[in-house]
Structure 1
Amino acid sequence: MTDREELKQKLRDNFAGKIVRKDLTKKIKEGANVPVYVLEFLLGKYCVSDDEDIIERGISKVKKILEKNFVRSDEAQKTLSILRSKGFYSVIDKITINLNIKTDTYEAEFSNLGIKNIPISAEYPEKYDRLLSGGIWCMVQLEYDYNEEDKKSSPIKIAKLNPIQMPHVDINELKEGRKAFTKEEWIDILLRSIGMEPDELTEREKWLLLLRLVPLVENNYNLCELGPRSTGKSHIYKEISPNSILVSGGQTTVANLFYNMGKRTIGLVGLWDCVAFDEVAGIRFKDKDGIQIMKDYMASGSFARGKEEKSASASMVFVGNINQDVDILLQTSSLFDPFPPEMGMDTAFLDRIHCYLPGWEVPKFRPDHFTDDYGFITDYFAEFIRELRKTQESDALDKYFKLGKNLNQRDTISVRKTVSGLVKLIYPNGKYDKEELEEIIRIALEMRRRVKEQLKKIGGMEFYDVNFSYIDNDTFEEKYVSVPEQGSSTLIPEGICNPGHIYTVSSGKSGMIGLFRLETQILPGNGKLTCNGIGNDREARESTQNAFNYLKANSNRISQSISTTTKDYIIQYQDLQGIGMTNKLSLPTLIAICSIALTRPTLSSLAILGDISVSGTVSKVDNLANTLQVCLDSGAKRVLLPITSAGDLGSVPPELVGCFNLIFFNDAEDAVFKALGVE
Structure 2
Amino acid sequence: MTLVNDDNNLHDDLESSNDDVDITATEVLASGSDSNFDLLDKLEINFPGRFVRKDLTQRIKEGANVPSYVLEYLLGMYANSSDPATIEQGVENVKKTLANNYVRPDEAEKIKSKIRENGAYTVIDKLTVTLNTRLDRYEAAFSNLGITGVPVDSRYPQDYERLLGGGIWAIVRLSYYHDDMESDSTAPFNVEKLTPIQVAGLDMSEVRQGREKFTTDEWIDLLLRTIGMEPTQFEKRQKWLFISRLIPLVENNYNFVELGPRGTGKSHVYKELSPNSILVSGGQTTVANLFYNMSRHQVGLVGMWDTVAFDEVAGITFKDKDGVQIMKDYMASGSFARGKDEIQASASMVFVGNINQSVDVVMRTSHLFDPFPDVMANDSAFLDRIHNYLPGWEIPKYKPSFFTKGYGFITDYFAEVMRELRKISYGDAFEAYFKLGNQLNQRDTIAVRKTVSGMIKLIYPHGEFSKEDVEEVLRFAIEMRRRVKEQLKKIGGMEFFDVNLSYIDNETFEEKFVAVPEQGSSTLIPVGTEKPGHVYSVGYDAGNRLSLFKIETQMTAGNGKFATTGIGGHRGAKESMDTAYKYLKANAGQVSGTISLSQHDFILNATNLNNGLMTDHLSLATYLALISISLAKPTVDSLVVVGDLTIGGSVVKPENLADTLQVARDSGAKKVLLPMTSAADFGTVPSDLLGSFTIIFYNTIEEAAFKALGVE
| Cα pair 2:366 2:611 within 8 Å, conserved | no
What is the aligned partner in structure 2 of residue 6 from structure 1?
Answer: 38
The aligned residue for residue 462 of structure 2 is 429
Q: Distance in 1 between matches of 2:523 and 2:159?
A: 60
Aligned partner of 2:431 in structure 1 is: 398
Does 2:68 correspond to 1:39?
Answer: no
1:632 — aligned with what? 665
Q: Please tell me the residue identity of whatever aligns with 2:403.
A: F
**SS of match in other structure, 1:381:** helix
1:295 aligned onto 2:331: no
Q: Deviations over 1:23-51 (max 9, x none)?
A: 11101111212332221122123223444
Residue matched to 1:352: 385
Alpha-carbon distance in structure 1 between the residues aligned to 2:129 and 2:558: 91
Please tell me whether the aligned partners of residues 252 and 285 of structure 1 are also in contact (alpha carbons under 8 angstroms): yes
1:414 to 447, 456, 472: 447
8 Å contact 2:533–2:551 — kept in the other structure? Answer: yes
Which residues of structure 2 form unaligned runs of 5+?
A: 1-35
Tell me, yes or no, if the aligned pair for 1:225 and 1:357 is still in contact at 8 Å.
yes
AA partner of residue 468 (structure 1): L
1:115-153 deviation line (CA, Å, top 9, x unaligned): 643448x6x889888778876544456677999999999
Tell me which residue corresponds to 1:643.
676
Structure 2 distance, partners of 1:521, 1:249, is: 50
The one-letter amino acid paired with 1:628 is: L
Query: Residue in 2 aligned with 1:208?
Result: 241
Q: Could you list the per-position Cα deviations for residues 189-215 of structure 1 after superposition, in whole angstroms to 9, with x for gaps in the alignment?
A: 212211222333343433332222111
Q: Please report how far the alpha carbon of residue 455 of structure 1 lies from its aligned counterpart in structure 2 after TM superposition.
A: 2.8
Q: Secondary structure at the match of 1:335?
A: coil
Deviation at 1:481, TM superposition (A): 3.4
- Following the alignment from structure 2 to structure 1, what is the Cα–Cα distance between the partners of residues 298 and 427? 32
1:236 aligns with 2:265: no
Q: Could you give the per-residue CA deviations for residues 624-664 of structure 1, whole angstroms, max 9, x where no partner exists?
A: 23212112222334432213334444544555445444443
Cα 1:338–1:155 shift into 2, 3 Å:
closer
- Return the alpha-carbon distance in structure 2 between the equivalents of residues 400 and 576 of structure 1: 44
SS in 2 for 1:20: strand
State how far apart, in whole Å, the 2-side matches of 1:332 and 1:324 are.
10
Q: 8 Å contact 1:109–1:117 — kept in the other structure?
A: no
Identity level (%) = 60
- Alignment correspondent of 1:343: 376
Tell me, yes or no, if the aligned pair for 1:529 and 1:548 is still in contact at 8 Å. no
SS of 1:396's equivalent?
coil
Judge conservation of contact 1:211–1:422 (CA < 8 Å) in 2.
yes
Q: Tell me the residue number matched to 1:666.
A: 699
What is the correspondence of 1:232-381 to structure 2 with a 5 Å cutoff? 232-381=265-414
Q: For the aligned residues, what is the CA RMSD?
A: 4.2
2:536 pairs with one of 500, 503, 528: 503
Distance 1:551 1:251, change over 3 A: closer
**Counterpart residue type for residue 307 of structure 1:** K
- In 1, the alpha carbon distance for the partners of 2:634 and 2:173 equals 86
Aligned residues: 673
* Among candidates 132, 151, 157, match of residue 117 of structure 1: 151
For residues 334 and 464 of structure 2, what CA distance do their matches in structure 1 show? Answer: 30
Counterpart for residue 51 of structure 2: 19
Distance across 1 between alignment mates of 2:73 and 2:693: 62
TM-score, with length taken from structure 1? 0.85
Deviation at 1:269, TM superposition (A): 0.6
Match of 1:195 among 195, 217, 228: 228
- The one-letter code sitting in structure 2 at the alignment partner of 1:351 is D
SS across alignment from 1:54: helix
Q: 1:92 to 1:499 in 2, by over 3 A?
A: closer
| Contact 1:516 1:576 (8 Å CA) reproduced | yes
Equivalent residues of 1:215, 1:315 under 8 A apart: yes
Instruction: For residue 619 of structure 1, report the CA deviation from its aligned partner.
Output: 1.1
Higher alpha-carbon deviation: 104-113 or 625-634:
104-113
Residue 532 of structure 1: CA displacement?
7.8
Task: Provide the residue aligned with 2:483 in structure 1.
Answer: 450
Residues 251 and 286, structure 1, Cα contact 8 Å, conserved in 2: yes
Distance 1:531-1:8 versus aligned 2 partners, 3 A rule:
farther
Call closer, same or farther: CA 1:628–1:177 in 2, change over 3 Å. Answer: same
Residue 395 of structure 1 aligns to a residue in which SS? coil
**Quick one: which of 208, 227, 236 aligns to 1:175?**
208
2:61 aligned partner: 29
Q: Which amino acid is the alignment partner of residue 17 of structure 1?
A: G
Displacement after TM superposition at 1:175 (Å)? 1.9
Whether contact under 8 Å (2:567, 2:614) holds in the other structure is no
* Counterpart-to-counterpart distance in 1, 2:137 and 2:600: 97
Aligned to 2:422, the other structure's residue is in SS state: helix
Q: Tell me the equivalent position of 1:70.
A: 102
